[in-house]
Structure 1
Amino acid sequence: MSQPSRGPGEFFSFKDRYRILHLSWLAFFVTFIVWFNHAPLMAAIRDTFRLSNEQVGAILILNVALTIPARILVGMLVDRLGPRTSFSAILAASGVLCLAFAASTSFEMLAVTRFLLGLSGAGFVVGIRMISEWFPARQMGLAQGIYAGLGNFGSAAAAVLMPALAALLASYASWRAAVALTGVIALVYGAVYYLTVTDTPKGATYFKPQKSGAMEVTSIGDMALYALVQLPIYASLGVLAWQLGFGKLRLLSEAATIVAWLVLAGLYAWQAAQIWRVNRDVVRQPVPPLHRYRFAQVAILCLMYFVSFGGELAVVSMLPLYVKDTFQLSLQDAGIVAGCFAGTAFVTRPIGGWMSDRIGRKPALLMVLVGMVAGYCAMAFMDASRGLAFALPAMLLTSIFVNSANGTVYAVLPIIKRRLTGQIAGLAGAYGNVGSVLFLLVFSVGGASALFLSIAACAGATLVLVLAFFREPEGAIAEVMPDGAVMMISVR
């Protein structure tokens, strides 16, 4: 951890901490290929099983449903077991589930395995903790940005590679073979990752949470805020249940949908009880100032990711068809035009992290939020009369700020409380999926302009919260060594 930095060019090295970075983003890349390997093959899958439009829609929803709670659970897992074991286990489980999906013989089997494959989307959280163990705070933003930017590219790679693989295999069940191949790759790379990485540099301590079941907080007020932050997560799952029941899909009966809501309410009550069990000692005995952290920082960054990544997922989902219909483009041309919105992540997410390292965490957050507000307001005015000459720059500039914002969030999260990094990253990651669900609900009700303006309004509200309440982590994080000694980890 104390190795001297020789500049950004170091990140192209495959030695020491940079080897861990590259092995980790590749693990993330593989999990995202597995997570999205069905999407470009849905036409072939639909034809094989003669699926209705409602059944296709159900599979697409089920693919993201488990990811919301899974990111929180995986955050707890990685803090307890370490990233090496956690990432290897997720890769192995994803590989087995991929093989099961490829071998499906009914819609029910497709649906169950696709739902369980939402676990793959939680792999992202593991690498956040791994990178935080290997990189100092002064390089944290750029390292996390490279990890996330390259790893996220797995979804784009799936869109290109899966149809090519299916065409290359050229048989009746070619989609099955293509999906199964990605499962085998995940299984193999899970073993490779386990054998080639370590959780920490040699001689460093891996700090674990003192309790399990919920995140540790350090004040009564933070405990109440933590319980409040959980509510939107269960609400978004309730929206997904509504879409499968009372919504357009109607694949669940009214009774089953109500039961699902009651289960979610029970789970929230159980989670609130866990928050109390883990943190009730702060009521009787205040936590010493040295060991406190501000949960408000976590809550604000969750809202930030809700707006940035959640908004991005919603826009990427609707933009190709919107562009095609608005500007009367072919399906291929519309895909190319819409692709510019997500296509900048490869470069701009690392830039957002680098900017946080260079100018400070709070200034970087404020800068990208201002850009998002302006960008989404501009996109709300896209229409046929203004043409692509207005729409293309508006989309491109907005995407630069959006993807940079994703990088700025994960430049801050790992330097709040080391032993809780996985849980903090998992909570924020879940909020990204929550944002996509709720913003797409706005789109389904109010259309494209309502979607863009709602994201702009949420970004504006987050901007106010950052200005008023966000304080950069400063000084050092205090963690307790196994022998009881206190270790101070610099956040500069």
Structure 2
Amino acid sequence: MSDTGSLNLLRFSDPKIKTLHLTWFAFFLTFAVWFAHAPLLSSIQASLSLTDAQIRALLILNVAITIPARIVVGMLVDKYGPRIIYSGLLIISAFLCIGFAFANTYTSLAIFRFLLGFVGAGFVIGIRLVSEWFPAHQVGTAEGIYGGWGNFGSAAAAMLLPTIALMYGGDDGWRYAIASVGVICGLYGLVFYKYARNTPKGSIYFKPKKTGAMEVTSWGDLWLLIGMNIPMYLALGILAWRLSPAGVNLFDESWMYIFLGILVLLFIFQTQQTWRINAEHLREGVPEMQKYSFKQVGILNIAYFATFGSELAVVSMLPLYFLQTFEGLTPVKAGILASGFAFMNLISRPMGGWFSDKFGRRRSMIILIAGLAVGYFLMGLIDSYWWIPLAVLVTMACSFFVQAGEGAVFSMIPLIKRSMTGQIAGMAGAYGNVGAVVYLTVLSFVSYSTFFFVIAASALFGLVAILFLENPKGHITEVLPDGTVHTIDVGHK
């Protein structure tokens, strides 16, 4: 590898490159498992005689648990290391995937779909692992490759699984297709455990001193952390409301209030836990060299809300949007045109990480979020009179800025506090899901054009927040339990 930030991805003899390939493919499989049902929904609906409302409920259940799962998995990966947590997640997800494939009732189907939202937390694990293997001047590019290539798993599932189901044939072809993904996922979990390592040979894996909540280093940051937890609970409350009679009617109103009550209790418990974990060391005073700014985390959360949140929302509605906007399109053609948004991940996320490595974290993020805002504003102007190729071009240009922005966010997350990279990535990742919930809820009340304008406006809010972001500089410090001080260079660009 050169010192310029470029990576030779074919140099498999390099342990860094081998680890990167092992890790992005693990993420690829988690997304393939997570969205394996999507291209086969019509077959699932016909096989089990499901209503449209039940299918919509499955789609909501698919993302419901991902928000808290990313927080929990972030804590686990910081404590136990990526190798064992990623392997465990792949193997557990394999069993859940196979269980979903052979479910014979709607209740069991819904339970497995809900639990499979857990696999969406896999992304967080690889962020910590990749950050352990790559230096500051390459970490953005490496994280972008990990995120972009791994995220392509959902598109690969959409392209391949209908054909695989047809190859199996019969009414149960969809079951065997989904189960096949589960089997591959489980086997790869064993491969990952055998070949992956948490750190390069001789390096130290830094762990947080306490577990159970994120540690902060000032009283102001403690209040900011508690405040940043609130939107995640509100998003879960929105999901409960969407599953009630006001939405898809999966359960009655009394159950909605029970779930909302549980969320309130969980928030109180988490707040108490956060206070307990942090109050003692804050009263004692945190040495200057161990401090970090939680403001940085909050700003990156907001940026990921606008980037990944909008991507999840737009990918789910774009085929129908094209179909209803332009006369003469078939569902197949509309799906092909819309697929360009997701396909951009292969190059956009790595490019965003590379821009961040090359031109600076804050500067890159300002440019990319500004481009995202302009892109969604232009998408809001699209109507049936537009030339279709021009509409697709605008959509793909917008997609580039969205996904490159995601790459820029995660190029910076590993440079804040190494021992808590999993937790920081988990919180930012959860905010991406919060964004998707909020944007899709907005879409249920407004027109397509207004929906795009709302995303553009929220991106401008994120842009203002990014103006207060500070470029990583110099070193971050980690202190081992025996008092040994280690410094990690984060100052490149």
> Under TM normalisation by the shorter chain, which class is it?
over 0.9
> How far is 1:334 from its partner?
0.8
Counterpart of 2:450 in structure 1 is: 450
SS in structure 2 at match of 1:488: strand
* Alignment-mate amino acid for residue 11 of structure 2: S
Q: Mapping of 1:455-466 within 5 angstroms? A: 455-466=455-466
SS in structure 2 at match of 1:487: strand
* Alignment-mate amino acid for residue 236 of structure 2: L
* Alignment-mate amino acid for residue 258 of structure 2: V
Higher alpha-carbon deviation: 189-198 or 382-391: 382-391
SS in structure 2 at match of 1:279: helix
Counterpart of 1:18 in structure 2 is: 17
Counterpart of 1:133 in structure 2 is: 132
- Residues of 2 paired with 1:24 and 1:368: CA distance? 26
Counterpart of 1:8 in structure 2 is: 6
Counterpart of 1:100 in structure 2 is: 99
SS in structure 2 at match of 1:189: helix
Higher alpha-carbon deviation: 174-183 or 475-484: 475-484
Counterpart of 1:248 in structure 2 is: 247
Gaps of 5+ in 2: none
Q: Does 1:230 align with 2:229?
A: yes
- Residues of 1 paired with 2:15 and 2:312: CA distance? 34
How many corresponding residue pairs?
Answer: 489
For residues 378-406 of structure 1, the C-alpha deviation after alignment (integer angstroms, 9 at most, x for no partner) is 11110012332542222121111111101
Asked if the contact 2:140/2:408 (under 8 Å) is kept, the reply is yes
- Residues of 2 paired with 1:440 and 1:358: CA distance? 34
SS in structure 1 at match of 2:103: coil
Counterpart of 1:395 in structure 2 is: 395
- Residues of 1 paired with 2:61 and 2:159: CA distance? 22
Q: Which consecutive segments of 4 or more residues in structure 1 shift more than 3 A?
A: 3-7
- Residues of 2 paired with 1:480 and 1:24: CA distance? 27
- Residues of 1 paired with 2:408 and 2:429: CA distance? 13
Asked if the contact 2:241/2:247 (under 8 Å) is kept, the reply is no
Counterpart of 2:412 in structure 1 is: 412
Asked if the contact 1:382/1:391 (under 8 Å) is kept, the reply is yes
Counterpart of 1:338 in structure 2 is: 338
Sequence identity (%): 48
- Residues of 1 paired with 2:21 and 2:242: CA distance? 39
Counterpart of 2:56 in structure 1 is: 57
SS in structure 1 at match of 2:487: strand
Asked if the contact 2:5/2:357 (under 8 Å) is kept, the reply is no
> How far is 1:485 from its partner?
1.0
CA-based RMSD of the aligned residues comes to: 1.2
Asked if the contact 1:219/1:282 (under 8 Å) is kept, the reply is no
- Residues of 2 paired with 1:387 and 1:263: CA distance? 50
Higher alpha-carbon deviation: 389-398 or 163-172: 389-398
Gaps of 5+ in 1: none
SS in structure 2 at match of 1:446: coil
* Alignment-mate amino acid for residue 74 of structure 1: V
Counterpart of 2:433 in structure 1 is: 433
The TM-score with structure 1 as length reference comes to: 0.97
Q: Does 1:155 align with 2:144?
A: no
Q: Does 1:115 align with 2:114?
A: yes
- Residues of 1 paired with 2:419 and 2:439: CA distance? 32
- Residues of 1 paired with 2:267 and 2:7: CA distance? 46
Counterpart of 2:471 in structure 1 is: 472
Counterpart of 1:45 in structure 2 is: 44
> How far is 1:56 from its partner?
0.6
For residues 438-475 of structure 1, the C-alpha deviation after alignment (integer angstroms, 9 at most, x for no partner) is 001111101211211111111111111111x2111211
- Residues of 1 paired with 2:52 and 2:385: CA distance? 33
Asked if the contact 1:205/1:481 (under 8 Å) is kept, the reply is no
- Residues of 1 paired with 2:386 and 2:4: CA distance? 48
For residues 166-220 of structure 1, the C-alpha deviation after alignment (integer angstroms, 9 at most, x for no partner) is 0111122111111111111111000000000110111111011111110000000
